Structures are given as structure tokens and as C-alpha cells.
């Protein structure tokens, strides 16, 4: 039985980012798009990174975000594309992809690609934005991890590995950043209603040999106590809270927004 969807509360966090710059990866779609919009609504100048120009243009039209087209799997070129944009006060490492396959069939190059986009790219960006944050004495790094940064699921070896690695990076940044007023945290959602999940529904149906209609209820919602998908705006609101001064003591941790999944 799924839980009925309430209208998610929008923008309840009092966040003032006027005068600050926020860089959001994967900002063209899903969670990243909501986060970019939320931080722009808080007054931030948003640098929106994605690999396709078109979704960034519509985001720029909607929010005033500065679009930067960069493929984060090409680490050096992505850094080049971001040259001139490193004076960042809030970094949201969000871009991510999924590949669903049993381990003994998992393509090795796909495994490596996922580590590049979801672990190495966040490391590269953190490394480049910390000097500005350190000199400002303030910074917020929010890593969009997953419930799969805390728990494993079958057939998602690359994704689970990458998200667990991101958790380690995030904790290390928290320790090094603390004396400089920089916090680093992970946000850990269960299934959010985004294009990435819509793709997974198709892939899981094929892998498990069941109709797509059964994937959400019988696979995606089995572990969560609250039986509904999360809306991207709910994740964006949690990110907004972590960017407040009120959240300045929250660092090096992982904040689950998972409907009780990790209570098991």
C-alpha cells in the first residue's frame, strides 16, 4: 500500500544567501534543478553545471542561474570549463547516474565511469572551492548521497560503492574545513520522483523480470516505512537548511530523508 502524497512544504527554511555564490552540479534535472532553484530563491548567485545546454538554459530563464556546460566525467576539461567560477560559498555535489546489473555481468568501464562522475568529480570541485571558503571563513558543502551511501542493494555495485566513497570524502572535508567555518554533510534520500528514478523503474523491471507497474511498490518502497516517492523540493528544503547559519554545528554527518529505510 502506498502512502498518499501530501503537498510538500515549499521554502519553509529562512535562508538568506544574498551575496553568496552557490555551485550546483547536475542542475539541469531532478534534485539538482530543485536545489538550484531553492538556493537562487534564497538570493544566491547560482552557477548551474550540467552536461547538456538545453536544460540549463531553461533553468537560467527561470532562476537567473549562470549556466556552465561541463561533462564531469572528463575531469580536466570540466575544471577548465569552470575556470573563473571557483569563488563559491556553497557547493552542492549532486550529479549522478545509475547502472543496474548483477555483479558478474557489471561492465567494468561503467563501474569506473560512475566512480569518476560521482567520487572523483566531487573531490576535484571540493579541492578548487575550499581556498575561497577558507579565506571567507564560511562555506557549505552538501553532497547528495543516497540511502545507498548507508545501505547496499543488489545490482547497484557501482552506485553503492560511489555513494559510500562520497560519504568518506564528505567526512574528511568536515574535519579539515571545521577550523575555517566550512561544514560538509551528506543528504541521503530514498527514492525521489526524478528522471533518474523513472529510468531505474524501466531497468529494474527488466532485471527483476516484472512489469514496470510493480517496481515502485514491490522494490522501491519495500524498505521505507513511508510508502511514497520523495518530491525533489523536499530534498532541496533539507539542503537549504544545511546552508543556514543555524546549521553551523552540523558537519561530517549524513542526514537521511528516507521515510524510515535506515531505521531497519
Catalytic residues: 159
Q: Which of 87, 84, 76 is nearest to 120 (CA)?
A: 76
Pattern of binders to ligand NAP over 130-159, x per CB under 6 A?
--------------x-x-------------
Beta bridge partners of 23: 47, 91
Q: Are 90 and 239 in contact (CB under 8 A)?
A: no
Considering only residues 73, 183, 204, 223, which one is a binding residue for ligand NAP as defined by CB under 6 A?
A: 73
CA distance 235 to 150: 17
Per CB under 6 A, the segment of 57-65, 88-96, 100-108, 175-183 that binds ligand NAP is 88-96
Q: Does 196 help bind ligand NAP (rule: CB under 6 A)?
A: yes
**In Å, how far are 4, 23, 40, 84, 249 from 44, measured between CA atoms?**
34, 10, 5, 17, 21
Residue among 93 and 251 whose Cβ is closer to ligand NAP: 93
Considering only residues 23, 26, 92, 240, which one is a binding residue for ligand NAP as defined by CB under 6 A?
A: 26
Count of residues engaged in binding ligand NAP, rule: CB under 6 A: 26
Q: Are 248 and 183 in contact (CB under 8 A)?
A: yes
Q: Does 170 help bind ligand NAP (rule: CB under 6 A)?
A: no
User: Residue 232 is inside which H or E element, if any?
Assistant: helix 232-242
How long a stretch of residues is the chain?
A: 264
Per CB under 6 A, the segment of 2-10, 67-75, 173-181, 207-215 that binds ligand NAP is 67-75
End-to-end CA distance of the chain: 19
CB of 179 to ligand NAP, least distance (A): 28
Q: Are 136 and 89 in contact (CB under 8 A)?
A: yes
CB of 16 to ligand NAP, least distance (A): 25
Q: Does 201 help bind ligand NAP (rule: CB under 6 A)?
A: no
CA distance 183 to 138: 8
Per CB under 6 A, the segment of 12-20, 186-194, 201-209, 245-253 that binds ligand NAP is 186-194
Interface residue list for ligand NAP (CB under 6 A): 26, 28-32, 50-52, 71-73, 94-97, 117, 144, 146, 189, 191-192, 194-197
Amino acid at each position: 500500500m502506498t502512502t498518499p502524497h501530501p503537498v510538500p512544504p515549499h521554502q519553509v527554511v529562512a535562508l538568506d544567501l544574498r551575496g553568496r555564490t552557490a555551485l550546483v552540479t547536475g542542475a539541469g534535472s531532478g534534485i539538482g534543478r530543485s536545489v538550484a532553484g531553492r538556493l537562487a530563491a534564497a538570493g544566491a548567485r547560482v552557477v548551474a553545471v550540467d552536461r547538456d545546454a538545453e536544460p540549463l538554459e531553461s533553468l537560467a530563464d527561470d532562476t537567473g542561474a549562470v549556466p556552465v556546460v561541463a561533462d564531469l566525467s572528463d575531469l580536466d576539461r570540466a575544471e577548465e570549463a569552470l575556470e573563473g567560477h571557483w569563488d563559491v560559498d556553497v557547493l552542492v555535489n549532486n550529479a549522478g547516474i545509475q547502472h543496474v546489473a548483477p555483479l558478474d555481468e557489471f561492465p567494468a568501464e561503467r563501474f569506473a565511469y560512475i566512480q569518476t562522475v560521482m567520487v572523483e568529480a566531487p573531490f576535484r570541485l571540493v579541492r578548487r572551492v575550499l581556498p575561497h571558503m577558507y579565506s571567507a571563513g564560511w562555506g557549505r558543502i552538501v553532497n547528495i548521497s543516497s540511502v545507498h551511501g548507508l545501505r547496499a542493494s543488489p545490482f547497484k555495485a557501482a552506485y553503492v560503492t560511489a555513494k559510500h566513497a562520497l560519504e568518506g570524502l564528505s567526512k574528511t572535508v568536515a574535519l579539515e574545513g571545521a577550523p575555517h567555518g566550512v561544514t560538509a554533510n551528506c543528504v541521503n534520500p530514498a527514492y525521489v520522483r526524478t528522471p533518474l528514478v523513472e529510468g531505474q523503474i524501466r531497468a529494474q523491471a527488466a532485471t527483476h523480470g516484472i512489469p514496470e507497474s510493480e517496481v515502485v511498490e514491490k522494490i522501491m518502497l519495500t524498505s521505507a516505512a513511508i510508502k511514497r516517492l520523495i518530491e525533489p523540493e523536499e530534498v532541496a528544503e533539507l539542503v537549504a537548511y544545511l546552508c543556514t547559519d543555524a546549521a553551523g554545528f552540523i558537519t561530517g554527518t549524513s542526514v537521511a530523508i528516507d521515510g524510515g529505510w535506515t531505521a531497519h
